Amino acid sequence: MASEPTDHESSSADVEAPGSETGGPVPRSRFWGWAVGLLAVVLAGSLLANWGQYQLWQLLAEEPREVFHSGEEDAEAKLAILPINGVIMPPLTGRVLSIVDRIEKDKSVRGLLLAIDSPGGLVADSHQIYHRLERYRSKTGNPVFVTMSRMATSGGLYVAMGGGPQVRVFAEPTTWTGSIGVIIPRYDLSGLASELGVNSDPLKTGPLKDSLNPFRKLSDQDRVVWRAILDDAFDRFVGVVATNRPRLDEAGVRRLATGQIYTASQALENGLVDELGYEEDAIAALRSQLKLARARVVTYRSRSNWIDLLLGQSRSPGSSELFREWLEGGVPRAMYLSSWGSLPPPILD
């Protein structure tokens, strides 16, 4: 017959080893191991999600979105409207070039309408768009028309010439255009600096390395150098307009190229535009020239703006970005811009 367990044996059997599978508290080391593992999984998932969002943003930001505008939505032939709104500088330049690339690849597009509302912008960017439109016409043979809304001054007019000598330029009755010329903004702060006891003394390798330094007067040598740069850009502007406006030769363009802004009526009289009318008039004229009984008119929008909002890309600039912007603020920029000398902020779609 089995004997009853002693009190000592009974109490020992009732007490289980700490952390055993049948109960009891979890050791602190094991708890933190689980916590760290869970945190690692969460962080890895977050990184993968953010990476995926970034890749999605990159993909969609680079690809403009086609939007139906008017006409017959089921028509095979397309007329494409290319919006050029705001100051011609990055990021607008890249978006416009990206849209032209897409339009060029679309074999159903039969004609292109530039819809311009711009005071102009950087010399280089204006010429990049103009040059790309020349390539588009050469490669596709499609006609390019222009419609001007509020303003198409300076670089806006320069870009409009990308339609070529056969382009038909429509301007709304209230449009401003013209302002043929070049400007490099500069501020002379030498007097103020002297009053404040500020002396600019950069270490440089040549007398022109700090040319356009706002804390000193321009030297005669400075003026000669920058005059040559201005004249080069100005002569190119005059040549582009003279080449693409049938009623104007070089001498005629130079008479108009005082930097003056012209009203739509004045521009029509001087041969800068061909007709007073609206976007719908330009579309009708383009459609008529192509003899299209049915046409789907489309335009394009950049996806990056709503993607930025969706993914929360907007944030305060860091110190490195502020320093970069400060450096860029001192970079000389030649502009085909209707302005007294300050660079307005870009207008984004």
Q: Residue 99, Cβ neighbours under 10 Å: how many?
A: 23
Could you tell me the two tokens for 298? Answer: 């489309």
What's the one-letter identity of residue 241?
Answer: V
Spatial distance between the Cα atoms of 278 and 232, rounded to a whole number of angstroms? 34
Where are the strands (E) in the chain, listed by range? 65-71, 78-85, 109-118, 120-122, 144-153, 169-171, 176-178, 261-263, 275-276, 296-301, 335-337
Longest CA pairwise span in the chain (Å): 130
Length of the chain: 349
CA angle at 64 for the pair 285 and 51, rounded to the nearest 5°: 175
Let me know if 78 is a catalytic residue: no
Instruction: List phi, psi (to 5°) of 306.
Output: -75, -25
Spatial distance between the Cα atoms of 256 and 272, rounded to a whole number of angstroms? 10
User: Nearest Cα to 213, choosing from 230, 235, 190?
Assistant: 190
C-alpha torsion 314→335→330→323, nearest 10: 10
C-beta of residue 274 within 8 angstroms of C-beta of residue 61: no
Q: Convert 120-148 to b/e letters by CB count within 10 Å (16 or more is b).
A: bbbbebbbbbbebbbebbeebebbbbbbb
Let me know if 179 is a catalytic residue: no
Q: Residue 185, Cβ neighbours under 10 Å: how many?
A: 15
**Residue 94 class from Cβ within 10 Å (0-12 exposed, 13-18 middle, 19+ buried)?**
middle
C-beta of residue 131 within 8 angstroms of C-beta of residue 95: no
Residue of 10, 11, 108, 209 with catalytic role: 209
Residue of 149, 154, 179, 304 with catalytic role: 154
Active-site amino acid positions: 154, 209
